[in-house]
Chain A
Amino acid sequence: MEKKIVKNERTGEQYTYVKHPTGLDIFIWKMEDHSSTYALFGTKYGSINTKFKTKDEPDFITVPNGIAHYLEHKLFENEDCDVFSLYAKTGASANAYTSFDKTCYLFSCTDNVYDSLEILLNFVQDPYFTEETVRKEQGIIGQEIRMYDDDANWRVFFNMLQGIYHNHPVKIDIAGTVESIAKINADLLYKCYYTFYNLNNMVLSIAGNVDEDKVLELCDKLLKNNDNPELETAFEPEPDTVYQKEVVQKLEVSMPIFNIGFKAKPAKDGMEMFRAERETNFVLSLIASDTSDFYKQLYDEGLINSSFSSEVFNGDGYFCSIFGGESRDPRLVKDKIAAEIERCKKEGLDRERFELIKKAYYGSLIRDLNDADAIATGMLNFKMMGDISIFDAIEAVAAITFEDVQKRLETQFDTENVTLSIIEPLDSKEGQT
């Protein structure tokens, strides 16, 4: 077992990293004086991983959309009860989520930490489903998909992704579609389970009031040895340009809601991805955060309100910068943002505010250290991004220069390669039902 203590001078914080003989990466961050403990057991397997192969297969295979999420639902069930009933005996609050690129099972608790951890390690390693239990889940997941059909903020985002991407599966709803989940059966679930829920592809991350030795003792007892399947994932080739420049849908909303996505080349993994993400975030802050004159101008003109925000959205094979909010005139907002980007390319970004924005970001990293949940999630996310640590990230941010950020503006923001997604209110006639 390889074990090391990872320290950071700047913050005085430390955690323990263990590479377990089973292949699992384990992170333990002890928080003195904290009441709760937060534990995450996750696999690098999300909705986008529909095409893959292992060393036992000659060719890549493609599985239906929504299968990672379906599997998450099904793993939450044992042979005789669901996982919530197990946690009921420890009092832990438990949950699970599937994102584009990972599936995580988690609990948060104040008492009975090790009993809860035992439950977590056991059920995630112990799949049980039959054709009958798989069929039953179709109703529940179908309801979940339908619920998101009414969610304007969800729709505006996925409509934008469908405009940006020709082929990349990030454009498909995480839960899949009613049609795609109809194709899921027990065999497919087992196939995906044994491919992606391999400890070599997984991370255990714990923050809170825990004893490291007890955690490792439990890991030794409960983790199952498995052969490394040498998993490879792949995506259909994706053109550089957006698929559609504008996507409009009507829903019962009071004011138009918009997402504007600038498509860029995806970053590689690890530190390169982190820097691309962080530097592009700094560009967004400089252009459109509430410290910028441009934001104030849009706000004063009544074109945006305080719901306006921007973010970088990136992962394996996709990268875009998104501006979103509510506006009476989303097309004008898009034009103004494009013009502002061109102006900043020509005249340069605001160097003075760059230092302020860096300082504020450092503050936000320290804030996160207050939260068991943010720490455990951070350790897991950075590991899955490609073997970087939360402290590497803090140090990398300190080293980012104004010139780095100006350069990102040039490479990540092509004002011709943009998708505008709008949810418009129903016409008054259609609104009457």
Chain B
Amino acid sequence: MSIIYKREKIGEGIHFTTLINKSQKLNSIFINLLTPLSMETVSENAIIPRILSDSSKDYPSMTLLNKKLYSLYGASLRGSVSKMGDSQILILSAGCINNRYTFDGEKITEELIELLTGCLISPNVSGNGFEEKDFELKKQELLDEIDAEINEKRAYAFKRANQSVYKNEPAAISVNGNKETAGKVTAVSAYEQYKKLLETAQIEICFVGEEYSENCRDLLAEAFSKIKRNYAGDAHSERSPFKTEVCRVTEDHDVAQSKMVMAFKTNYEDIVAMKLMNAVFGATPISKLFMNVREKLSLCYYCSSGINAAKGVVYVDSGVERSNVEKAEAEILNQLNAIRNGDFTDEEMENARRSIINKWKGIGDNASSIAGWYLEQIYNGRSDSPEDQIGKLMKVTRDDIISAANSLRPDTVYVLAGKEENK
């Protein structure tokens, strides 16, 4: 199914992208603010979307705002923060059912856009900071969330590994910051940073729906025309530099199962070829890692690979018994070496290719997947549709996969070590 893509400039460093897909029964709007990751501002940035999505000048409490959303047929309005390479992305998103599904043809999409832009542009402020009481609750929540990172061992191991992989780079910074940076945020410092972001950040607005809506475009353009801009330029990432020697970190934890994260770096340019290499290696249940390390040798409960394209990093993420950690590491390297040596069948290659095509073709069915796809494209200075990238994928050869695998240099092995088994 083809998706119609249209990107319009509606302000200095502010773009409005429309993605039309006839199958959508929902209208979704994503407002992304892209800014460099930095220890100075990371926790302010993490707290801002939490505050903006919970109240506004017109709806000064979360109860009032939520009642309004319920009246719009259970529309959603969410604030979140994520990372792409060396950049931090603040996201305010909203979604509701298409107007024609309402009982009386109410224009709920337009109402929702006004509500969303109201949250972004006219927050609930007192004095020269965010409203103090709500701010304190959000700050405590952020601190609790940072504390709670240890609860999810797989994600925690991944976060700790990243601190070694991207040592001294912005990408090493956790999306929420740490206890120290979060502890320093005040209602005033967060509000100051918020104002600065509205002035300077790259702003990418994305609308996903069944048809192009001039109404919605105009409502958004008008709301953003009220902002005074002093644009700082597009967000971007640097490739992560190679280490002279592999960094090894082991940390003991009181858990039953160990987690191991291995990272490899590359300066290989052809990212589509690298994605196919990754699929052959460990990104599908028919990949080398899954079939051998998990199924054949039963060394891991999960063992899969992934890519951070913006940074040029391929990683392997696994859950393994402590006594099997060394064996698993050796076997993972074995499988990578097999690809480097061309020891994979045409069938393995074509299976991997089909699996990626299947995924990319279905991206248009889901609003946040397709919005995420184009945000990544825009971030990397492209506007490839999933079909465009499938075209490129079809041209990737066996030799390209071998070169991609040979470009990988071992960088980090991180182990979150569990207890020795009792039995």
Residues of A within 8 A of B284 (CB): 84, 88
- Please state if A143 and B301 are interface contacts (CB–CB under 8 Å): yes
Q: B354 and A253: CB pair below 8 A?
A: no
Give chain A residues whose Cβ lies under 8 Å from the Cβ of B362.
Answer: 35-36, 108, 110
Structural contact, B301 and A147, CB atoms closer than 8 A: yes
Across the interface, which residues of B come within 8 angstroms of A146, CB to CB? Answer: 256-257
A33 touches B23 (CB 8 A): yes
- Tell whether, in the assembled complex, residue A253 and residue B70 are in contact, meaning their CB atoms are under 8 Å apart: no
B26 touches A (CB below 8 Å): yes
A136 to B357, CA, bound (A): 33
- In the complex, B319 has a CB within 8 A of chain A: yes
Given contacts A33-B21, A296-B63, contact A110 B253 (CB under 8 A): no
The distance in angstroms between the C-alpha atoms of A11 and B100, with both chains bound, is 10
Which residues of A from 285 to 339 have beta carbons under 8 Å from B? 289-293, 295-296, 299-300, 302, 305-306, 326
Residues of A within 8 A of B15 (CB): none
From B146-154, B263-271, B394-402, the one touching the partner chain is: B146-154
For residue B96, CB closer than 8 A to chain A, the reply is yes
CB distance from A38 to the nearest CB of B (A): 10
Once A147-B256, A150-B257, A300-B137 are accepted as A-B contacts, the answer to whether A85 and B63 lie under 8 Å apart by CB is no
Kindly provide the distance from the CB of B172 to the nearest chain A CB, expressed in whole angstroms. 22
Closest B residue to A76 using CB positions: B285
B253 touches A147 (CB 8 A): no
* Minimal Cβ-Cβ distance residue in A for B417: A433
Considering the chains assembled together, what is the distance between the CA atoms of A192 and B141 in angstroms? 48
Contact of A433 among B62, B148, B153, B254 (CB under 8 A): B254
Known: A150-B153, A356-B70. A305 touches B144 (CB 8 A): yes
From known contacts A252-B253, A290-B63, A291-B67, infer whether A33 and B354 are also in contact, taking CB-CB under 8 Å. Answer: no
Find the A residue at minimum CB distance from B302.
Answer: A147
A164 within 8 Å of B (CB atoms): no
- Which residues, 1 to 52 on B, are CB-close (under 8 Å) to A? 1, 21-26
Chain A residues contacting B25 (CB-CB under 8 Å) are 366-367, 369-370
Q: A343-386, CB under 8 A of B: which get 1 and which 0?
A: 00000000001001101111110110111100000000000000
Q: Do B137 and A302 touch across chains, with their CB atoms under 8 A apart?
A: yes
| Shortest distance from the beta carbon of B177 to any chain A beta carbon, whole Å | 16
Contact call B147/A254, Cβ cutoff below 8 A: yes
Q: How long is the Cα–Cα vector from A254 to B359 in the complex, in angstroms?
A: 37
Q: Which partner residue on chain B sits nearest A299 by CB separation?
A: B137
Interface positions, chain A 100-145, Cβ under 8 Å from B, are 108-111, 136, 139-140, 143-144
CB neighbours (8 Å) of A364 from chain B are 74
- Assess whether B63 is in contact with A356, with CB atoms less than 8 Å apart: no
| B419 interface residue per 8 A CB criterion | yes
Given contacts A31-B23, A93-B355, contact A84 B285 (CB under 8 A): yes
Chain A neighbourhood of B140, CB < 8 A: 302, 305
A152 at interface (Cβ–Cβ under 8 A)? Answer: yes
B195 contacts A by Cβ under 8 Å: no
In the complex formed, the residue of A with least CB distance to B133 is: A300
CA distance A305 to B140 in the complex (A): 9
B245 within 8 A of A: no
- Judge if B71 is at the interface, Cβ distance under 8 Å: yes
- Report if B358 contacts A (CB, 8 A): yes
Number of residues from B at the complex interface, CB < 8 A: 64
Bound Cα distance A317, B19 (Å): 47
In the assembled complex, the Cα of A37 lies from the Cα of B364 at a distance in Å of: 13
**B295 CB within 8 Å of chain A:** yes
Select one of B22, B23, B101, B257 contacting A366, CB under 8 A. Answer: B101
Q: Assuming the A-B contacts A34-B1, A35-B362, A140-B301, are A433 and B419 also in contact, with contact meaning beta carbons closer than 8 angstroms in the complex?
A: yes
Q: How far is the CA of A90 from the CA of B133 in the complex (A)?
A: 55
CA distance A93 to B286 in the complex (A): 10
Q: Are B301 and A90 in contact (CB under 8 A)?
A: no
Q: Flag if A147 contacts B319 (CB, 8 Å).
A: yes
How far apart sit A433 and B254, CA to CA, in the bound complex (Å)?
7
Contact A363–B1 (Cβ < 8 Å): no
Answer whether residue A91 sits at the interface, using C-beta atoms and an 8 A cutoff. Answer: yes
Q: Is B204 an interface residue (CB 8 A)?
A: no
CB nearest neighbor in A for B140 = A302
Question: Separation in Å of the A17 CB from the closest CB of chain B?
Answer: 22
Which residues of A lie under 8 Å from residue B252 when comparing CB positions?
433
Contacts of A214 in B (CB 8 A): none
- A360-B73, A370-B25 as given contacts; A150 in contact with B63, CB under 8 Å: no
A149 within 8 Å of B (CB atoms): yes
Contact present for A253 and B148 (CB under 8 Å): yes
Query: Could you tell me how many residues of chain A have their Cβ less than 8 Å away from some Cβ of chain B?
Result: 70
Q: Which of B234-281 contact A (CB under 8 A)?
A: 252-257
The one of A90, A255, A362 in contact with B147, judged by C-beta atoms closer than 8 angstroms, is A255
Contact with A along B142-173 (1 / 0, CB 8 A): 00100111110100000000000000000000
A11-46 CB contact bits vs B (8 Å, 1 = yes)? 100000000000000000001111110000000000
Contact indicator B358/A366 (Cβ below 8 Å)? no
Q: Is the CB of A93 within 8 A of B256?
A: no
Residue of A nearest to B252 (CB): A433
- Residues of chain A lying within 8 A (CB to CB) of residue B317: none
A426 within 8 A of B: yes
A58 at the interface (CB under 8 A from B): no
- Contact assessment for B361 and A110 in the assembled complex, using a CB-CB cutoff below 8 Å: yes
A153 to chain B, nearest CB (A): 8
Contact of A255 among B144, B361, B364 (CB under 8 A): B144
Contact with A along B50-75 (1 / 0, CB 8 A): 00000000000111001101111111
The docked-state distance in angstroms from the alpha carbon of A149 to that of B257 is 9
Proximity string of chain B (403-423) to chain A, C-beta cutoff 8 Å, 1 when within and 0 when not? 000000000000000110000
Is B97 in contact with chain A by the CB < 8 A criterion?
Answer: yes
| B298 contacts chain A at the CB level, 8 A cutoff | yes
What is the chain A residue whose CB lies nearest that of B290? A84
Which residues of B345-404 have CB atoms within 8 Å of chain A's CB atoms?
A: 347, 351, 354-355, 357-359, 361-362, 364-366
Cα-based distance from A32 to B1 in the complex (angstroms)? 10
Whether B97 pairs with A367 at a CB distance below 8 angstroms is yes
CA distance A111 to B257 in the complex (A): 38
Known A36-B361, A253-B151, A296-B62; contact A144-B70, beta-carbon cutoff 8 A: no
Cα distance, A35 to B363, chains bound together (Å):
8
B254 — which chain A residues lie within 8 A by C-beta? 252, 426, 430-431, 433
Contacts A110-B361, A111-B354, A367-B25 aside, 7 further interface pairs with beta carbons under 8 A come to: A35-B362, A88-B355, A111-B361, A289-B66, A291-B66, A296-B62, A306-B141
CB within 8 Å of B: which residues of A?
A: 11, 31-36, 82, 84-85, 87-94, 108-111, 136, 139-140, 143-144, 146-147, 149-150, 152-153, 252-255, 257, 289-293, 295-296, 299-300, 302, 305-306, 326, 353, 356-357, 359-364, 366-367, 369-372, 426, 430-431, 433
List 18 interface pairs A-B (beta carbons < 8 Å), by A numbering: A34-B23, A35-B362, A84-B290, A88-B351, A110-B357, A110-B361, A143-B298, A150-B153, A252-B254, A253-B150, A254-B149, A293-B63, A300-B137, A359-B71, A366-B97, A430-B254, A431-B254, A433-B252
5 residue pairs, one from A and one from B, having the closest CB atoms = A360-B74, A363-B73, A91-B354, A363-B74, A254-B147
**B residues bordering A, Cβ < 8 Å?**
1, 21-26, 61-63, 66-67, 69-75, 95-97, 101, 133, 137, 140-141, 144, 147-151, 153, 252-257, 284-286, 290, 295, 298, 300-301, 319, 321, 347, 351, 354-355, 357-359, 361-362, 364-366, 418-419
